Amino acid sequence: MEKTSQNRCVPLGQNRTVSRRDAIAAGLASTGMALAASTNAQDADRPPAAPTKDARKSSPKRYRAKKSINQWAFPYPDRMSLRECMQLAKDAGFDGIELNYDLDNDLSPKASQKDLVGIRNLADEIGIEISGLCSFLFWPYPLSSLDAAKRNRGIELAGLMAEAAATMKVENLLVVPGAVHIPWRDDHTPVPNDKCEALAREAVGSLVSGAEKKGVSLNMENIFFNGFLMTPMEMNDFVDGFGSDAVQVHYDTGNISMFQHAEHWVPILGKRTKNIHFKEFTKKGTDYSLETFRPLLDGTTNWPAVMEELEKIDYEGYVTFEYFHPYPHYPEALIYQTSDSLDRILGRI
């Protein structure tokens, strides 16, 4: 570098003179760029910071429960096959699907052992678990019916359901233990409360030994409409009375929400809860029927409170959306909407 007048320098190979001030500034700039590059390289090595959870979008806390959906939310069997229901549930992001036992269709007394094994294999092929079995047959054939023929048929069908569950390697069977009243049937004679309890205990008791041998859990469901086991304390007393791990609780959040609150039952039932229905309910209406149940989040259930109580009892099982009205148009929408809602409730988003 040669010296020039006025304290300027001309670097080698450069014809334009550069002031000493500019040269120093350029040096500082290059040093800053090097430091910035070094800092960026260090930042690149660090794991990205976890995004801040927005409680308006979903639960800030991630819960351990698994997502499931009941088959009644699908237009089965009229517009979808069993395979299509399972595949859609899988595609929508569900961990499991709850299947319904009926007098006809794929899962029924007509199904052979080979048929039942085929359903298990189908679920395995698709990659979805069967979270439990459920049935409407407990209504036409109540386990506490005053009609012995209906009562015995109900016990017979419950036994067949337990056998089907065992064959399909399904642990959970929902059981409606009895009914004082059935508002949607006109062929049910009301049963006095004490008689209902006695008949229900006798019926469930006859199923316990078989369930124990099969490794199936008979899970008693709470249902306000049937006028039986109306408080969690009554449910606990009923379940504990059998002294068997094969008799537990299938807790339904919507079935007690007419006059009570879903989160209040959870700590009282405690570890007895083996499986759960997430049914949305609205206290804003006055139509106390199946029409008061809503798609998830379109009701008055305090889901954050429910989840906090479930976390306190270390619940890691399935939470299954139950809904009785498949959408008449574009039925896939309900399935995907439900999956999204459960993701938000469970803090998966």
Domains of the chain plus CATH, in order, are 66-346 (3.20.20.150)
- Check residue 35 and give its pLDDT: 46
**What percentage of residues in the chain have a pLDDT greater than 90?**
80
Residues 291, 294, 299, 305, CA torsion sign:
positive
Give the number of other CB atoms < 10 A from CB of residue 22: 12
Distance of CA 221 to the CA centre of its chain: 16
Q: What share of the chain is helix, strand, coil (3-state, %, to 5)?
A: 40, 15, 40
User: Is pLDDT above 80 for 139?
Assistant: yes
Confirm if 229 and 239 have CB atoms less than 8 A apart.
Answer: no
Confirm if 20 and 9 have CB atoms less than 8 A apart.
Answer: yes
**What percentage of residues in the chain have a pLDDT greater than 70?**
84
Per-position DSSP letters for 220-240, written without gaps between them: EEPBGGGTBS-SHHHHHHHHH
Strands 293-294 vs 280-281: parallel, antiparallel or unpaired? antiparallel
Average pLDDT over residues 324-341: 97
Mean pLDDT check: name the lowest of 9-13, 154-158, 303-307: 9-13
Retrieve residue 24's tokens.
Answer: 């120093």
What pLDDT band is residue 9 in, cutting at 50, 70 and 90? very low
H-run or E-run covering 131: strand 129-135
- Check residue 41 and give its pLDDT: 54
User: Can you tell me the distance from the alpha carbon of 55 to that of 231, in angstroms, rounded to the nearest whole number?
Assistant: 32
What pLDDT band is residue 13 in, cutting at 50, 70 and 90? very low
- Check residue 43 and give its pLDDT: 58
User: Can you tell me the distance from the alpha carbon of 86 to that of 252, in angstroms, rounded to the nearest whole number?
Assistant: 22
Average pLDDT over residues 125-143: 98
- Check residue 283 and give its pLDDT: 86
Average pLDDT of the chain?
A: 90
What pLDDT band is residue 261 in, cutting at 50, 70 and 90? very high
User: Can you tell me the distance from the alpha carbon of 257 to that of 282, in angstroms, rounded to the nearest whole number?
Assistant: 8
- Check residue 53 and give its pLDDT: 85
Nearest to 111 by CA among 181, 154, 163, 68: 163
- Check residue 10 and give its pLDDT: 46
Distance of CA 128 to the CA centre of its chain: 13
User: Can you tell me the distance from the alpha carbon of 150 to that of 139, in angstroms, rounded to the nearest whole number?
Assistant: 10
What pLDDT band is residue 50 in, cutting at 50, 70 and 90? low
Confirm if 195 and 146 have CB atoms less than 8 A apart.
Answer: yes
Residue-wise pLDDT for 155-198, tens only, equals: 999 999 999 999 999 999 999 999 999 999 999 999 999 999 99
Residue-wise pLDDT for 59-93, tens only, equals: 999 999 999 999 999 999 999 999 999 999 999 99
Average pLDDT over residues 205-210: 98
Average pLDDT over residues 331-348: 98
Tokens 């679920």 found at: 123
Average pLDDT over residues 128-152: 98
Residue-wise pLDDT for 274-288, tens only, equals: 999 999 998 887 666
Backbone conformation region of residue 7, classed left if phi is above 0, alpha if psi is from -120 to 50, else beta: left
Average pLDDT over residues 32-53: 60
User: Can you tell me the distance from the alpha carbon of 276 to that of 304, in angstroms, rounded to the nearest whole number?
Assistant: 16
User: Is pLDDT above 50 for 5?
Assistant: no
Confirm if 141 and 175 have CB atoms less than 8 A apart.
Answer: no
- Check residue 22 and give its pLDDT: 57
Q: Is residue 31 classed exposed, middle or buried when 0-12, 13-18 and 19+ CB atoms within 10 A define those classes?
A: exposed
- Check residue 199 and give its pLDDT: 98
Which residue did the predictor score with more confidence, 38 or 239? 239
Q: Is residue 211 classed exposed, middle or buried when 0-12, 13-18 and 19+ CB atoms within 10 A define those classes?
A: buried
Burial profile 194-208: b = 16 or more Cβ within 10 angstroms, e = fewer: eebbebbbebbeebb
User: Is pLDDT above 60 for 48?
Assistant: yes
7 phi, psi to nearest 5 deg = 60, 40
Residue-wise pLDDT for 100-113, tens only, equals: 999 999 999 999 99
